[in-house]
C-alpha cells in the first residue's frame, strides 16, 4: 500500500530530515518555532530540535532574511520561512541584491546557500497584499533559483534538494495545497535511502498525445482535472507537463512534449505580463516553431490585483473549464 501524506507533512518531513542531515541547517521565520508555524508546516520541529535550530523572528522580513543571508556566507544553511511570499517585497533589497548578486560582485568568492520558502498564491480571499505570485519576478534575476511544487512528493523531494543546493533557492508553496494528500515514497522504498528531486527537472504528470498542458504550482492540479474531462467528454488525450522548477528550467521536457503533441497551452496562477508562460511560449516559438500546429496559448490569473470577494476571486484564477475551452479552440 503506497504511503499517502499531505503536502504540509511532506514539507515537514523534508525539513526534519535535512535538520538531521546537516547541523548547519536552521529554520528561521515568523512563528516557525513555538507557534508551530502559521500554516503548521514546521509543527513539532521546535519541540524536537529546540531553540538553536528553530528560531522565531520578529516581524522584520528585511532584517531576518538579511541575517540569514549573512549567516549563510559563513556556512550556515538557513531555511527562511516567509509567512506569505507576498512579504518578500519588504525584504526585496536583501533578496534581489544581497542574495542574488554577492556571488557575482565578488567574482565568485562568496556563495549564499539560503532557502526562502513560503506560500505564494491567491485564491484564499485575503486581498491583493497577501496574494502575490512573484515566481516570475525572482526567476528574472540571474543568481536565484525558483521552484514551485504541485504535489506532496515534489514538495518533499525539492525542499531537500533546495536546502542542499549551494545557491539561493526561493521555494514557492501554496496554502491551498497544504492539506492535499498524495503518494510520497518512504525512505525505505528509495534507492539511496532518501527521496530527492533535482532542481531543473520537469515531470510528466499525465502522458498524452494531443496537446501539451504545461504548468507549474497549483495550476498543474487544475490542468490534470481538465485533462480528465477532456479525455472523458471530448476524446482529447492531453499531456500535463509540470515544470516543478522554474529556474533552472527543464527546456528539453517542454520541447519534447510539444514535438509529440504539436500544440501547447501554458497554465499558471501568475499574472500574464512577462509571466512564466511568456517565457515558455518564447522557448517553443524559437525552438519548436515547425512542430506547432497552432499558436501557443496561455491561461493565467486575471491581469488585475486579487479580488477579495470569494466567488469573484475564484473566477480570477485558472479553472478547469478555462483550460477545456482554450484546448477546444485549437484541438
Partner 1 sequence: MAKKTDETQKSSFADDPINKKLSAEEKIELLRQMTRIRRFEQTSLKHYQGGAIGGFLHLYIGQESVAVGSISLLGDDDHVITAYRDHGHALAVGMSMNECMAELFGKKTGCSKGKGGSMHYFAPDKNYWGGHGIVAGQTPLGAGLAFALKYQGKKGCCLCYLGDGAINQGSYHESLNIAELWDLPVVYIIENNGYSMGTSQKRSSAHPEGGLAARAEGYGMAWDKLDGYNIYEVRAGVQKAIDRAHNESRPTIVEIDTYRYKGHSVADANAEKYRTKEEIQKYMTDHDPVENWKQTLIKEGVITEEDFKAINKAAGKEADDSADFAAKSPYPDESEILDDIYWEVDNNTAAGRTGTHFFQP
- Indicate which residues carry an active-site annotation: 61, 130
Among 3, 129, 166, 274, binds partner 1 (CB under 8 A): 166
Helix (H, G, I), strand (E, B) or coil at 67: helix
Helix (H, G, I), strand (E, B) or coil at 325: helix
Tell me the torsion sign for CA atoms 187, 191, 197, 198. Answer: positive
Site for partner 1 in 65-104 (CB under 8 A): 65-76, 93-94, 97-98, 102-104
Tell me the backbone φ, ψ of residue 181, rounded to 5 degrees: -95, 150
Q: What does the block give as the cell for 203? A: 515531470
Decide: is 111 part of the binding site for partner 1 (CB under 8 A): yes
Tell me the backbone φ, ψ of residue 233, rounded to 5 degrees: -100, -20
In the complex with partner 1, the residue whose CB is nearer, 278 or 317, is 278
Give CA angle at 61 (60, 63), nearest 5°: 65
Among 18, 54, 57, 265, binds partner 1 (CB under 8 A): 57
Q: Residue 40 Cβ, how far from partner 1 at the closest point, in Å? A: 24
Task: Give the count of beta carbons closer than 10 Å to the beta carbon of residue 248.
Answer: 15
Site for partner 1 in 207-236 (CB under 8 A): none
Contact between residue 172 and residue 120 where contact means Cβ atoms under 8 Å apart? yes
Q: Residue 85 Cβ, how far from partner 1 at the closest point, in Å? A: 19
Helix (H, G, I), strand (E, B) or coil at 117: strand
DSSP state of 272: S
In the complex with partner 1, the residue whose CB is nearer, 237 or 287, is 287
- Rounded Cα distance between 85 and 264, Å, is 29
Among 201, 206, 260, 262, binds partner 1 (CB under 8 A): 201
Q: Residue 56 Cβ, how far from partner 1 at the closest point, in Å? A: 10
The CA–CA distances, whole Å, from 209 to 118, 146, 258, 279, 282 equal 35, 29, 9, 23, 22
Site for partner 1 in 121-140 (CB under 8 A): none
β partners of residue 78: 26
Q: Residue 29 Cβ, how far from partner 1 at the closest point, in Å? A: 13
Site string for partner 1, 236-265 (x = CB under 8 A): ---------x-xxxxx--------------
Q: What does the block give as the cell for 247? A: 529556474
- Rounded Cα distance between 319 and 246, Å, is 21
Contacts of 288 (CB under 8 A, 6+ apart): 255, 258, 259
Site string for partner 1, 289-328 (x = CB under 8 A): ----------------------------------------
Window contacting partner 1 (CB under 8 A); options: 34-42, 107-115, 265-273, 320-328: 107-115
Site size with partner 1, rule: CB under 8 A: 55
Among 62, 126, 229, 330, binds partner 1 (CB under 8 A): 62
β partners of residue 247: 146
Decide: is 64 part of the binding site for partner 1 (CB under 8 A): yes
In the complex with partner 1, the residue whose CB is nearer, 22 or 228, is 22
Q: Judging by DSSP bridges, how do beta strands 25-29 and 77-81 pair with one another? A: parallel
The residue whose grid cell reads 500544440 is 263
Q: Residue 20 Cβ, how far from partner 1 at the closest point, in Å? A: 17
β partners of residue 211: 238
Q: Residue 123 Cβ, how far from partner 1 at the closest point, in Å? A: 28
Site for partner 1 in 2-41 (CB under 8 A): 26
Decide: is 191 part of the binding site for partner 1 (CB under 8 A): no
- Rounded Cα distance between 99 and 93, Å, is 9
Return residues touching partner 1 (CB under 8 A): 26, 52, 57-58, 60, 62-76, 93-94, 97-98, 102-111, 113, 142-143, 145, 161, 165-167, 198-201, 245, 247-251, 279, 282, 286
Amino acid at each position: 500500500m503506497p504511503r499517502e501524506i499531505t503536502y504540509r507533512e511532506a514539507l515537514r518531513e523534508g525539513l526534519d530530515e535535512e535538520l538531521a542531515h546537516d547541523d548547519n541547517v536552521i529554520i528561521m521565520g515568523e512563528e516557525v518555532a513555538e507557534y508551530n508555524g502559521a500554516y503548521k508546516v514546521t509543527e513539532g520541529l521546535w519541540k524536537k530540535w529546540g531553540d538553536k535550530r528553530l528560531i522565531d523572528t520578529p516581524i522584520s522580513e528585511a532584517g531576518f532574511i538579511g541575517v540569514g543571508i549573512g549567516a549563510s556566507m559563513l556556512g550556515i544553511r538557513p531555511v527562511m520561512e516567509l509567512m506569505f511570499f507576498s512579504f518578500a517585497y519588504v525584504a526585496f533589497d536583501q533578496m534581489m541584491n544581497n542574495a542574488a548578486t554577492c556571488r557575482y560582485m565578488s567574482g565568485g568568492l562568496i556563495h549564499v546557500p539560503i532557502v526562502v520558502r513560503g506560500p505564494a498564491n491567491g485564491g484564499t480571499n485575503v486581498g491583493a497584499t497577501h496574494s502575490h505570485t512573484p515566481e516570475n519576478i525572482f526567476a528574472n534575476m540571474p543568481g536565484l533559483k525558483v521552484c514551485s511544487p504541485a504535489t506532496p512528493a515534489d514538495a518533499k523531494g525539492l525542499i531537500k534538494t533546495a536546502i542542499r543546493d549551494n545557491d539561493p533557492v526561493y521555494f514557492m508553496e501554496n496554502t491551498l495545497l497544504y492539506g492535499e494528500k498524495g503518494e510520497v515514497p518512504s525512505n525505505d522504498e528509495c534507492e539511496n535511502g532518501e527521496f530527492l528531486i533535482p532542481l531543473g527537472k520537469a515531470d510528466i504528470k499525465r502522458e498524452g498525445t494531443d496537446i501539451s498542458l504545461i504548468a507549474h504550482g497549483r495550476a498543474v492540479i487544475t490542468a490534470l482535472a481538465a485533462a480528465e474531462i477532456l479525455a472523458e467528454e471530448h476524446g482529447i488525450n492531453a499531456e500535463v507537463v509540470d515544470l516543478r522548477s522554474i529556474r533552472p528550467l527543464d527546456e528539453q521536457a517542454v520541447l519534447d512534449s510539444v514535438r509529440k503533441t504539436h500544440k501547447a497551452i501554458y497554465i499558471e496562477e501568475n499574472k500574464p505580463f512577462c509571466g512564466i508562460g511568456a517565457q515558455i511560449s518564447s522557448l517553443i516559438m524559437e525552438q519548436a516553431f515547425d512542430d506547432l500546429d497552432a499558436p501557443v496559448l496561455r491561461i493565467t490569473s486575471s491581469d488585475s490585483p486579487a479580488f477579495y470577494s470569494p466567488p469573484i476571486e475564484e473566477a480570477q484564477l485558472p479553472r478547469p473549464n478555462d483550460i477545456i475551452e482554450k484546448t477546444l479552440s485549437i484541438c
